């Protein structure tokens, strides 16, 4: 897949951003925060673009302050599901690349609540559209509108109205919830656990710099013909 990261900027820079958002940011979260059950079920379809994904971390009221996320995922031990909800306007997922028009699935970052206890921010896989790109019930999506640049990327806003996702959709490399609602983690320190959940963002920061290198390559090809 390495060559796929190098070719898109020479064709259209926005193609690289779309590819990055779907495959590397969402797919990276599945790969680095998930376990074998997630890899087997989700990774191949993500890489082949059968699943068009987005990465729903940023919220209107908190920007990149991940600890301040207000979206809530409450575990229901009776059904073995997480109930994901947007409790207020500031909790809407905002500026989510790929969400406005195309994404069928998303990685939702939310505060995990179990039996009234907040276990902190965790990541969940949630479907937001069917394969015909119709928005699913109890989900509202809106476009962020015209931007100064990168208008080929459909940045959107997402609200969840108590949608349900299976327990298995929790990305559980760092921590897991057993069927009876018991919370288990290989990292006891909450701060270290929180840092581990942010690992997919590392790739994003690197790609900002890499994108500048690719653009310079495009310029080096184009300038001699002026």
- pLDDT tens digits for 126-136? 999 998 999 99
Pick the residue with more confidence: 139 or 196? 139
DSSP strand pairing (93-96 vs 163-166): unpaired
Q: What value does the mean pLDDT take over residues 22-49?
A: 86
Q: What value does the mean pLDDT take over residues 31-53?
A: 90
Is 2 part of any domain? no
Nearest to 96 by CA among 48, 67, 139: 139
What does residue 177 show for φ and ψ, rounded to 5 degrees? Answer: -120, 120
Domain count along the chain: 1
Nearest to 84 by CA among 121, 40, 134: 121
Rounding to the nearest 10 degrees, give the CA dihedral for residues 18, 42, 93, 166: 170
Is 155 part of any domain? yes
So what's the pLDDT on residue 204? 65
- Our measurement of the distance from residue 188's CA atom to the centroid of its chain's CA atoms, rounded to an integer in Å, reads 25
Is 131 part of any domain? yes
Is 5 part of any domain? no
Is 52 part of any domain? yes
So what's the pLDDT on residue 126? 98
Nearest to 22 by CA among 60, 3, 50: 50
- Which range (3-7, 29-33, 60-64, 92-96) has the least confidence? 3-7
Residue 23 tokens, joined: 């495959």
So what's the pLDDT on residue 22? 60
Q: Which residues neighbour 58 within 8 Å (Cβ) at sequence distance 6 or greater? A: 64, 93, 94, 95, 96
So what's the pLDDT on residue 215? 76
Q: What is the pLDDT confidence band of residue 3, given thresholds at 50, 70 and 90?
A: very low
Is 76 part of any domain? yes
Q: Is the pLDDT of residue 16 over 80?
A: no
**Domain membership of residue 98 as a residue range:** 11-217
Pick the residue with more confidence: 200 or 225? 225
Q: What value does the mean pLDDT take over residues 181-190?
A: 95
Per-residue pLDDT tens over the stretch 56-93: 999 999 988 999 999 999 999 999 999 999 999 999 99
**Secondary structure class of 103 (helix, strand, coil):** coil
Is 61 part of any domain? yes
Is 225 part of any domain? no
So what's the pLDDT on residue 17? 66
Q: What value does the mean pLDDT take over residues 192-199?
A: 86
For residues 193 and 139, give the distance between their C-alpha atoms in angstroms, rounded to a whole number: 29
What's the per-residue H, E or C state across 141-188? EEECCCCCCCCCCCCEEEEECCEEEEHHHECCCCEEECCCCCEEECCC
Residue 160 tokens, joined: 């969840």
**Secondary structure class of 187 (helix, strand, coil):** coil
So what's the pLDDT on residue 10? 46
Domain harbouring 106, CATH code: 2.40.110.10
- Our measurement of the distance from residue 66's CA atom to the centroid of its chain's CA atoms, rounded to an integer in Å, reads 13
Q: What value does the mean pLDDT take over residues 145-155?
A: 86
For residues 8 and 22, give the distance between their C-alpha atoms in angstroms, rounded to a whole number: 14
Pick the residue with more confidence: 61 or 148? 61
Sign of CA dihedral 190, 192, 198, 200: negative
Pick the residue with more confidence: 48 or 95? 95
- Our measurement of the distance from residue 45's CA atom to the centroid of its chain's CA atoms, rounded to an integer in Å, reads 15
- 139: enclosing H helix or E strand: strand 139-143
- Which range (50-54, 188-192, 221-225) has the least confidence? 221-225
């Amino acid at each position: 897949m390495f060559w796929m990261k190098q070719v898109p900027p020479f064709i259209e820079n926005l193609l690289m951003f779309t590819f990055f958002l779907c495959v590397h940011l969402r797919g990276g979260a599945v790969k680095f925060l998930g376990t074998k059950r997630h890899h087997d079920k989700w990774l191949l379809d993500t890489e082949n673009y059968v699943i068009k994904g987005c990465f729903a971390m940023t919220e209107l009221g908190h920007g990149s302050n991940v600890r301040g996320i207000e979206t809530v995922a409450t575990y229901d031990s009776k059904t073995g599901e997480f109930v994901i909800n947007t409790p207020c306007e500031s909790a809407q997922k905002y500026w989510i690349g790929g969400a406005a028009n195309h994404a069928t699935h998303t990685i939702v970052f939310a505060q995990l609540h179990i039996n009234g206890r907040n276990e902190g921010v965790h990541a969940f896989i949630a479907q937001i559209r069917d394969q015909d790109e119709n928005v699913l019930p109890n989900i509202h999506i809106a476009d962020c509108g015209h931007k100064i640049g990168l208008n080929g990327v459909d940045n959107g806003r997402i609200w969840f109205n108590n949608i349900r996702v299976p327990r298995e959709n929790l990305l559980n490399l760092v921590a897991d919830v057993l069927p009876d609602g018991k919370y288990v983690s290989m990292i006891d320190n909450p701060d270290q656990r929180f840092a581990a959940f942010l690992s997919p963002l590392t790739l994003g920061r690197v790609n900002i710099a890499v994108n500048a290198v690719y653009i310079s390559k495009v310029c080096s090809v184009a300038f001699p013909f002026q």
